[in-house]
Chains A and B, each alone.
Chain A
Amino acid sequence: MQAFEYAGPSTIEEAVKSLTGSKSGVALSGGTDLISRMKDYVTSPDRVVYLKGVKPLAGITETKGGLSIGAGTRLVDVIANKDIAKEFPALQQATLEVGTPQIRNMATVGGNLLQRPRCWYYRSGLGLLGMKDGKSLVRTGDNRYHSIFMTDGDALFTSPSSLATPLIALGATATLVGEKGERTIPVEALYQVPKTSDDRELTILPGEILTKVTIPEPKGKNASYEARQKQAHDWPLVLCSVSLDMNGNEVNNGRVIIYGVAPIPWRSEAAEAAIKGKAITMETAAAAADAAVKAAKPLSANGYKVGLTKTVVKRALLAAAGNRYWEEA
């Protein structure tokens, strides 16, 4: 790890000032991603601004029917929150198995949303696109954990945040504070697809700090379902969060967001269209799952994700409708 300057501010204003006062300063919270990246020289900032001493960043508060979750709130506190468990099970279910107990004690909502991709080419210092001599190492190499959507482009890693998936399904917004003031954007606008090796997959600007996410009043039903290779200490292979605005028994409007399949949290408009105006049954959920993967173009070693995504989407929809048939067997 390269040496860096350290600032431990206690207010958001101080934190922004500390960040903007350096060339390549970064914010540190739980440290579960950043410190390992610094040890591997993937990220070598000249200054680290420690945010856990900024008390206003942590905590969950009620806002007009919805909830505001401070970016510094630890995952263990998200899981323990009764309002989240009751109103936003999609968020709790996606947070439950993130990392390990130690990681959930350290990691924060902001850190989870802004963690860098877990692609092993990126983590080995080959850049976000994993290019060498103008050729993609990912396409010809070991891409078992990479994308199945948007694979015509060069960004083949998958977006790593488990929490972004339910937050986008629930229509949450993110608030960022920088030198020029505050801006609030939909959570999905935190992410972009990098076109070149110099682009980032995050839209947060240098010197900006993510302060909170706000989830609007819950509409209808929501749930998450995920599939993993290992039960503990792993990222999901595929995770799907759905939020269904119901009109009686039928879906008025639904949001279907999938993790692990694209370089951004993947919104499946095809699955959303397939359930519009319909009741969620085994048949409609299966049809929506089929629609979700229709446009998938897997790489050489991740074809299994197509079938997996189908099952995960189907089960997330049925879980939201209260049918957990797979637990009954």
Chain B
Amino acid sequence: MAEHDPTKPRPGTSRRDFLRGSGLAAATAVLTAPAVAALDEAKAAAVEDGPKVLSGELPITLQVNGHEMSCKVEPRSTLLDTLRHRLDVTGPKRVCDRGSCGACTVIVDGDTVYSCTTLAVSCQGHEIRTLESFDTGATGVPHAFHQHDALMCGYCTPGFVTACKAMLEKNPNPTIEEAKRGLDGNICRCGTYVGVLEAAMAAAKAMKKEA
């Protein structure tokens, strides 16, 4: 499978592009003059006294899957919403949005974090990895999930795949207990934990063969 380069547009019209297009038309129609003025007012302003204080919309640059990606966000934008809504990196999912379920898991500087409780503005200068960058070949974690039936409805899967990948990078040879502990931060409502743990152990094995 060809690797998806998130900096390049995808071929054809995607469902996401279509929805975004129709949404934009509707949004433009209701944007009133006061709203436009308010948006202008909210533009990035640095207060002069003491350390730099940022507010309104700020230009930020994030390093995502090896690419520099730029957009404008408010300080309150989470890393998750910025990735999904501004940068079209839609692998991490928004499920609980309170750091409880793990579906939004991404890897920052080698460690898994919940992107829903991380501010995007604080991630500048850090290396962010999402599952879009993972090897989907026979020795990759996604393949192991596929082979071991490690998903049912699929909502939790991106988070589990990411947590699994990060765990195996730190501990390539986990015991089943260590794998359980390593994947503690993700919840599957369908209860497919047995498949997930099998996939994690199989991925560890496959990665070792490759090395």
Stretch among A97-105, A142-150, A214-222, A275-283 lining the B interface: A97-105
Residue of B nearest to A36 (CB): B98
Interface residues of A in 1-45 (CB under 8 A from B): 1-9, 14-15, 17-18, 21, 28, 31-32, 35-36, 38-39
Given the known inter-chain contacts A8-B52, A17-B50, A102-B105, please indicate yes or no for A31 contacting B75, CB distance below 8 A: no
For A5, the chain B residues whose CB sits under 8 A away are 47, 53-55, 75
User: Looking at B55, B100, B114, which has the most chain A CB atoms within 10 Å of its CB?
Assistant: B114
Contact partner, B118, options A100, A101, A106, Cβ 8 Å: A106
Is the C-beta of B51 less than 8 angstroms from some C-beta in chain A?
yes
Cβ-closest chain B residue relative to A105:
B111
Q: By the criterion CB–CB under 8 Å, are A36 and B117 in contact?
A: yes
By the criterion of a CB under 8 Å from any partner CB, how many residues of chain B are at the interface?
38
Closest Cβ of chain B to A292, distance in Å, is: 30
Q: Which B residues between 109 and 157 are near A, CB-CB below 8 angstroms? A: 111-114, 116-119, 121-122
| Distance A100 CA – B114 CA, assembled complex (angstroms) | 10
Residue of A nearest to B107 (CB): A105
Considering the complex, which residues of chain A in the window 52-77 have a beta carbon less than 8 Å from any beta carbon of chain B?
A: 52-53, 76
Q: Please name all residues of chain A whose beta carbon is closer than 8 Å to the beta carbon of B174 when the two chains form the complex.
A: none
Interface residues of A in 157-212 (CB under 8 A from B): none
Closest A residue, CB atoms, query B47: A5
Cα(A47)–Cα(B52), bound, Å: 12
Number of residues in A with C-beta < 8 Å to the partner?
A: 37
Q: Mark B22-65, 1 if CB is under 8 A from A, else 0.
A: 00000000000000000000100001011111110000000000
User: Does A299 sit at the interface, judged by CB under 8 A?
Assistant: no
Q: Which of A7, A36, A48 contacts B51 (CB 8 A)?
A: A7
Q: Across the interface, do B51 and A18 meet the contact criterion of CB distance under 8 Å?
A: yes
Most buried by A among B97, B112, B183: B112
Contact of A233 among B50, B167, B184 (CB under 8 A): B184
Chain A interfacial positions (CB closer than 8 Å to B)? 1-9, 14-15, 17-18, 21, 28, 31-32, 35-36, 38-39, 47-48, 50, 52-53, 76, 99-103, 105-106, 231-233
Interface residues of B, Cβ cutoff 8 Å to A: 42, 47, 49-55, 74-76, 78, 97-100, 102, 105, 111-114, 116-119, 121-122, 163, 167, 181-187
Besides the known contacts A6-B119, A18-B51, A102-B113, 11 further A-B residue pairs in the complex with CB atoms under 8 A apart? A3-B42, A8-B122, A21-B53, A28-B122, A35-B116, A39-B98, A101-B182, A102-B102, A103-B99, A103-B114, A105-B111
Those 9 A-B pairs whose CB atoms lie nearest each other, nearest first: A100-B185, A6-B75, A232-B184, A105-B111, A102-B185, A14-B51, A5-B55, A35-B117, A17-B50
